[in-house]
Structure 1
Amino acid sequence: MSVPLRIGLIVEGHGEYEAVRMLLQRIWYELLGGDSLDVARPFRFPQGTLLKEEGLKQAVDTVRIKLGPDSPGGIRALILILLDSEGKCPRELAPRLLAWAKEARTDADIACVLPHPMFETWFAAAAASLAGVNGLPANLPAPDDPEGQSFGKSWLRRQLPRKYSEPVDQPRFAARMDLAQCRARSPSFDKLCRELERRLTASRD
C-alpha cells in the first residue's frame, strides 16, 4: 500500500478539466499499478497568467491553500502545473516555471509538465489505439513523430468529420487512448508518467 496522494491541477483549457483528471487516474492505476489517488477538480487560469512570474506564483499559492497541509503519515499533496508548450522548448520553459512555483511555496511538492506542443499531441501519439473511436476514421494514420511534426488540434480537425470540441472530445479520447503507446511515442507524456512514478515510489518507501 502507498500513502494516499492528492493532486491539485493547474491547467489552462476548458477541455483539460475532465480529460487530464481522467488521464492521471488511468496512469496511476492502470499504467503504474498505484492506489489511493485523489485528483481535485482542476484550477483553470489563462496561459498568459501562468507564463508570468507573479501570475504563476499566485496560482500556485491559491492551489496550495485549497489542498491544505500534508499530514504526517497521511495524505500527501502534489501541485501539478500542466500547460501547452505551444512550440516553446519544454527543457527551457518548464524549469523556469517550476523555479517560480517553488519560490511561491517552498512547503509544497510541485511538478511542471508541458505537453509538446499541445495536449492534443498526446492523442496523435496514441493514434493507433484511437482508430474508429469517437468519429476518428478506422484507418487513422499514426504520425511518425507526433511532437517533432507538431501534430495536435489541426491534425484532429483533419481527421474528424465534424467540428472538434475540446470539452466533449478530449475526455472521450483520454478514456480510450493506449497509455503505454503514448508514453513510448511522446517524451512530454513520458515526463508526466515519470513525475507520477516518482511520487508513487516515494510513497512506498
Structure 2
Amino acid sequence: MKVGLIVEGHGEVRSLPILLRRILRELDPQHHCSILNAHRVSRGLLVKEEGLRPAVELMARKVGPEGRILLLLDADDDLPCQLGPSLLAQARGYRPDRDISVVIATREYEAWFLTAAESLRGRRGLPLDLAPPLHPEGIRDAKKWLGQRKADGYSETVDQPALTGLFDLTAARRSDSFDKLFREVGRLFGLPVPPR
C-alpha cells in the first residue's frame, strides 16, 4: 500500500514522512507501507481549488486505487475545525475513489514540539530546563519561540526533521491537533489507536 503526502511547508517535506513512520511504528511495529515523497504546495494555493485539485489528482495517480492520501497544513490564524472539514470535503469531492485525510496543525507544526518540550531538553542546542509554554498551540510563532531558546537559532528545513525524530509522541498527544493526526493515521491504515 502506498501513502501520498501533501504539505505546505518546506520543513514538512522531510519531516512528515519521518513522523508518519514513527506513528505507524508505535501503532503497529509490523505494519509496512510505501511512503511517497511529500508533494509541497504553498498554503496560498493549497486552500484554493487551483492548488488543491491538482495536488490531490497527482497523489491519487501516484498512490493507485488502494493508496491513501494525507494532507497536512498549518492553521495559522484559521480555525482548524472549519478549515480541515472544508478542505477534506473538497479533496474527497475531487477523488471520492481514494481514502483521504486532512489534518490541520493548530497554528503550526512546531507547536507540537512546544507541547512535548520536556522531551527535547538538551537536544539540538535547546536548554536543559526547556519547559512548554502554558498554551503551546496559542503561540503565534512557534518557530520564533524555539529559535529564541536554541543556541544557534531555528531552521525549519534543518531542525524540523531532526526534532521530528526526537520529540515524545505521547506527550505531543496533549495537543488536540497532534492527537487528530495520530487518530487519522490509525484510521487511514485500519489500526487501533489507544486513547491519549
**Same structural fold, with TM-score higher than 0.5 when normalized by the shorter chain:** yes
Q: Which moved more, 1:152-161 or 1:129-138?
A: 152-161
Match of 2:151 in 1: 161
Local SS of the residue matching 2:71: strand
Shift of the 126–151 alpha-carbon distance from structure 1 to 2, 3 Å rule, reads farther
Distance 2:94 2:172 in 1: 32
Q: Which amino acid aligns with 1:130?
A: L
Identity %: 44
Shift of the 200–69 alpha-carbon distance from structure 1 to 2, 3 Å rule, reads closer
Please give the TM-score of this superposition, normalised by the length of structure 2: 0.92
Mapped contact 1:25–1:37 kept (Cα < 8 A):
no
Match of 2:100 in 1: 110
Q: Which moved more, 1:140-149 or 1:101-110?
A: 140-149
Unpaired segments of 5 or more residues in structure 1? Answer: 71-76
| CA shift digits 1:46-102 (9 cap, x unpaired) | 1111010232111100111112222xxxxxx11111011002100001111011101
Distance 2:130 2:28 in 1: 30
Match of 1:73 in 2: none
Matched, 1:186 2:181: no
Local SS of the residue matching 1:101: helix
- Count matched residues: 191
Q: Give the C-alpha shift of residue 150 in structure 1.
A: 3.9
Match of 1:18 in 2: 14
Match of 1:59 among 42, 55, 60: 55
Q: Give the C-alpha shift of residue 38 in structure 1.
A: 2.0
Unpaired segments of 5 or more residues in structure 2? Answer: none
Local SS of the residue matching 1:147: helix
Distance 1:24 1:48 in 2: 24
Match of 1:128 among 97, 108, 118: 118
Match of 1:175 among 147, 165, 176: 165
Local SS of the residue matching 2:60: helix
Match of 1:50 in 2: 46
Q: Which amino acid aligns with 1:52?
A: K
Q: Which amino acid aligns with 2:35?
A: V
Q: Which amino acid aligns with 1:99?
A: A
Distance 1:13 1:59 in 2: 14
Please give the TM-score of this superposition, normalised by the length of structure 1: 0.88
Match of 2:37 among 26, 34, 41: 41
Cα-Cα RMSD: 1.5
Match of 2:64 among 64, 68, 74: 68
Distance 2:137 2:3 in 1: 26
Match of 2:190 in 1: 201
Match of 1:82 among 63, 72, 82: 72
| CA shift digits 1:153-192 (9 cap, x unpaired) | 1211111121311111011101110000001x21000000
Match of 1:147 among 127, 134, 137: 137
| CA shift digits 1:110-155 (9 cap, x unpaired) | 0000111001111101100000000101111222221134461121
